[in-house]
């Protein structure tokens, strides 16, 4: 499996990514994306809370 790593930027925040040649796909760090979009100081906690909160 051949991969390459990349660091992109969104709103001046780092977003880590890895390219997979076999699948011809980029895989991005969801924690980095949550940090960039929400501007949360603790994106892992934000992500955990958003996946455990029930809307019912």
Where do the structural domains in the chain lie, given as residue ranges? 3-52
Question: Do residues 3 and 21 touch, judged by C-beta distance below 8 A?
Answer: yes
CA dihedral of residues 40, 45, 48, 52 (deg, nearest 10)? -90
Please give the order of strands across the beta sheet that includes 25-28. 3-10, 13-20, 25-28
Give the residue-averaged pLDDT of 18-31: 90
Confidence of residue 31 (pLDDT cuts 50, 70, 90): very high
pTM (two decimals): 0.70
pLDDT recorded at residue 56: 57
pLDDT recorded at residue 9: 80
């Amino acid at each position: 499996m051949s991969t390459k790593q990349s660091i992109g930027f969104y709103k001046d925040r780092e977003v880590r990514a890895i390219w997979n040649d076999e699948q011809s796909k980029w895989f991005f760090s969801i924690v980095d994306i949550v940090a960039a979009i929400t501007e949360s100081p603790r994106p892992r906690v934000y992500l955990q809370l958003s996946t455990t909160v029930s809307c019912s």
